[in-house]
Amino acid sequence: MLTRLPVWILVGSVMLALNAGFINSVALLSFASNAVSHVTGTATILADAVVTGQSALVFHTATIVLSFIGGAVLSGIIVGNEALALGRRYGLALSIEALLLIAAWKAFHMNHMAAEWLASAACGLQNAMVATYSGSVIRTTHLTGIVSDLGAALGNLLSGRGMLKAQFALQSAIFVAFIAGAILGSLLFRRFGYDAVLVNGVWVGFVALCYVFMLARRKRELSR
């Protein structure tokens, strides 16, 4: 169980949750108005489109879901393990995510549905990149599990069974960061339009550089 929270995990989780809230906000405000950071709502729309025979909507929502899955598959190929640990190829995975978001920026400007495919693939890659740390589930692209865990933790505290403070702090930080990212995404989209997605791509590239720099610094310290 998570009893101690390394700073790099907290900071990294916050930076990625901020990114997910941002891109999901922009996607919802875009010409297609579909979520991309999770698939639950999109899958429900897909099911209704099947029932009502809306073939174009079936195609579009199905491809968003498949894009998310494709991003997760790509994460599995690159990272190879869902347990968070320093040294894994998160820098490469994040660099590819940044490129996907930059490509989405171009597609958004063209009002092409590929924009949501690319953004969804980026979120699928990010979400699958880190799944667990010290027995705790870490998800940075949606809040359902986070909110459930926070509620359960508060329930345990109120019933006198105590609380894992490090885990609660991490999940609370992810929750706040996702909401903050969504607010920022909405503000920048209303100010700069689809150029806000370029900010998204640059931000993920910055996170990738931070990880690479941290690894290099750690290697220098260990070699002394």
Residue position matching structure tokens 């027995």: 135
Q: What is the mean pLDDT of residues 64-93?
A: 87
**Alpha helix (H) ranges present in the chain?**
7-29, 40-52, 55-78, 90-109, 114-129, 144-158, 165-192, 195-223
Q: What is the pLDDT of residues 124-142, one digit of tens each?
A: 998 888 766 555 667 888 8
Residue 153 has pLDDT above 70, yes or no: yes
Q: What is the pLDDT of residues 14-48, one digit of tens each?
A: 999 999 999 999 988 887 778 888 888 899 999 99
Phi, psi of 136 (to 5 degrees): -100, 140
Q: What is the mean pLDDT of residues 176-188?
A: 95
Whether the model clears a pTM of 0.85, i.e. scores above it, the answer is yes
DSSP for 4-69 reads ---HHHHHHHHHHHHHHHHHHHHHHHSSS----S-SHHHHHHHHHHHHHT-HHHHHHHHHHHHHHH
